[in-house]
Amino acid sequence: MSTPVIAQPAAEPVVVKGGPTPAQRLTSFMPVIALVALLAALTIADPDFLTQKSLTAAIRTSAPLVVLAAGATLVVLCGGIDLSIAALASLSTVFFAMWLPDLGGLTTLAVIAAAAGIGAIQGIAHVVLRIPSFIVTLGGMSIFSAVALVISDAGPIRVVDRDATNWLTLYVAGYIPMAFFVAVVVVAVIALVLKLTPLQSYITATGYSESAARLAGTPVDRVKVGAFTVSGACAGLAAVMLVSRNFSGSPTMADNLLLPAVAAIVVGGTAITGGHGSIWRSLVGALVITLLRVGLPIVGVPSAYEQILYGAIIVAAVALTLDRSKVLTIK
Amino acid sequence: MTSPAEDVDVAAARPQPRRGVSLRDSGPPLALVVIFVAFSALSSDFRSIGNVQNIMDTAAVLAVVTCGITFVLMMGSIDLSAPGVMGAAAIAVALLVANNRNGNELGVIGILLAILLAAALGCVSGLALVLLKVPSFMTTLGVSAVGLGLATLMFNGVQPNITDGTLASWPVERLLGLSYLTWIAFACVLVGYLIQRYTRLGRYAFAIGGAEEVLALSGVKVAPYKVAVFTLAGAFYGLAGVMVTSQLSAGLVQAGKGYDFAAITAAVVGGTLLTGGRGGILHSAVGVLIVMVLTNGLVQVGVSPYWQGGVQGLIVVAAVAAAVLPQRRRNQVTK
């Protein structure tokens, strides 16, 4: 029963080559189709949208979301969920603002390392204490917010020295914002590392059937801790990007990115049940979500509908991508 | 491999909680007493009558939210929709009773309509779970976003301040030293207990959490009961949203912020297992008091109130870890 399912991810890279049947192939292209359709719709609604300037602005805003979603995708691929990414990113912006005067140029690395460490702690709590991942990360979310509020005294901290984040505001080849370029590089590096090492198989095996993977000798626990670590590191990087845009660190800065990030993952087509999906899909998903975000005002929809749309999208996308053969009773 | 040991384990563990008092049932009340005594010893402000009244009054909203979430947790599902549902109900009720935004003066009917809206949102969570087979933490996350969106739409940039007499009296008028809000919370706990104990809905919610497959195989149509449980939970959140509006005398979109997590914490600390089939309303009520006493006590001894969420996070992780500890060897798979 599970053999044909496992055959699917062998056909990666997903966006380029699809599953076995034409229907599945179409489904795996869905995020790209949605992206193109959205772009077309927005261009029809406002012909000025398809200009270099507004597209550059759009992908620049998408950068932190891409990074956040990419990291959390690994956890989802393992069959878990990381609900703490946004709170961890907020905490990291505070770290960045507080550490910058002392650490200078090393701050970026220090923040990413700290976030990765915090992610690893969550992963260890998850595998050692056997607490479901959403409870660990829900608890983490609440703890990180509290720590951020306490150390920042519940207010934004201005970043005066702008040199440390200046590089993120540059443009590659004159058009591509550095932040987005970095985000794509991060996605590419993670994807490449997964591809060139057994990690890809480990993660997929863990996601599809954890007990089978364990019996086959996959280091399931280490893979999961690794996924949480990368997720944490990505939250740290996203925080640096946010600071480079806002010139301050704040305990609630990234909090509203949780829903878009989860939406990006599921819209990309990564199954919430684990195993099926890829990090590239989340890149496309994040772009779709960003286009929706910047597009709604263009079409004249009040931004209040944005939340409703996220909610509907999450439920619909999960319903479409869920692997029903695996879960007999849905809790 | 481990099945014989497992069988013995299950057979030995099962009858215990039915006999009434077990460590699992008596632990949380004991913890409550210990925490209360400890804080009383540490702070003289804490052990005043006024502070105890204060704790009861601030616990009211959380108690109502926890009543709702307990039924969902008993089924083994999870509900993250409280912030959205409460926000929508809070704004809705503010616009339906006498207020500064429009001419509505529906009074009690307005309150009921707001609760109905919340119940409808809960129903949507349940339907998405049952019909689309989307896991509950995803459907409720989605419904929470929808509720916040609805609340923002109704809010429309101008804060609705309520002028309704009944609603305004809830937090200030007192009966036997406790505010009306607290008595409403008591009533909710009582109603919740009666539903849990004496109705088919409550009994089935327990059974679904214990062994859904068995229940389905014995011919019970599980799906309608699941939807009903989420609807009931939504109604409780709605009432909680109304209560927040009465406290603030204004409808706010963020009325329910943080209540989902606080309620899960309270339920888990009270002894309701996240895997379902254990615990109940009375357990959760004790859990609510533990959380509130802890929150209040920490502030009284001089800990920054910003730590509140962090303390809850630590408690929930610790409580869940302690609850799964006996079954560690049995479930190898944790998602």
Return the residue of B nearest to A306 by Cα.
B149
- Whether the upstream peptide bond of residue B28 has omega within 30° of 0, thus cis, is no
What's the alpha-carbon Rg for chain B, to the nearest Å? 20
pLDDT tens for chain A, residues 1 to 331: 344 444 444 444 444 444 456 666 666 787 888 888 888 888 888 888 778 888 888 888 899 999 999 999 999 999 899 999 999 999 999 999 999 888 887 889 999 999 999 999 999 999 988 888 888 998 999 999 999 999 998 888 888 877 777 778 788 777 888 899 999 999 999 999 999 999 999 999 998 888 888 889 889 999 999 999 999 999 999 999 999 888 888 998 888 899 899 999 988 888 888 888 889 999 999 999 998 888 888 888 887 788 888 888 888 888 887 766 665 556 6
Residues in chain B: 335
Q: Which domain holds residue B67?
A: 59-261
A305 contact partners, CB below 8 Å, separation of at least 6: A296, B149, B153
pLDDT digits (tens, 9 = 90+) for B189-223: 999 999 998 998 888 888 888 888 888 888 888 88
| Overall fold of domain A16-321 | ABC transporter involved in vitamin B12 uptake, BtuC (1.10.3470)
* Nearest Cβ partner for B212 among A259, A262, A329: A329
Nearest-Cα distance to chain B for A248, in Å, is 20
Q: pTM (2 decimals)?
A: 0.84
Local confidence band at B11 (pLDDT 50, 70, 90 cut-offs): very low
Domain range summary for chain A, segments of one domain joined by +? 16-321
8 Å CB contact of B317 and A129: yes
Count of domains observed in chain B: 1
| B210 belongs to a structural domain | yes
* Nearest Cβ partner for B145 among A146, A211, A259: A259
* Nearest Cβ partner for A143 among B313, B332, B334: B313
How many angstroms separate the CA atoms of A259 and A236, rounded? Answer: 18
Phi-psi region of A126 (alpha: psi -120 to 50; beta: other; left: phi over 0): alpha
| B286 belongs to a structural domain | no
pLDDT at B151: 92
| B174 belongs to a structural domain | yes
Q: Which of residues 161-220 of A touch B (CB under 8 A)?
A: 210-211, 214
Return the residue of B nearest to A151 by Cα.
B306
Nearest of A283, A251, A247 to residue A267 by alpha carbon = A283
Token pair listed for B234: 């939504």
How many angstroms separate the CA atoms of A124 and A130, rounded? Answer: 9
The interface predicted TM-score (ipTM) is 0.80
8 Å CB contact of A319 and B128: yes
Return the residue of A nearest to B259 by Cα.
A142
| B302 belongs to a structural domain | no
A1 contact partners, CB below 8 Å, separation of at least 6: A325
Q: Which of residues 62-91 of A touch B (CB under 8 A)?
A: 79-81
* Residues of chain A contacting B335 with CB distance shorter than 8 Å: 79-80, 132-133, 210, 274
pLDDT digits (tens, 9 = 90+) for B254-302: 888 888 888 988 998 888 877 777 888 998 999 999 989 988 888 888 8
| B327 belongs to a structural domain | no
Q: Which helix (H) or strand (E) holds A248?
A: strand A248-249
- Interchain CB contact of A143 with B (< 8 Å): yes
Q: Is the alpha carbon torsion for B66, B72, B74, B80 positive or negative?
A: negative
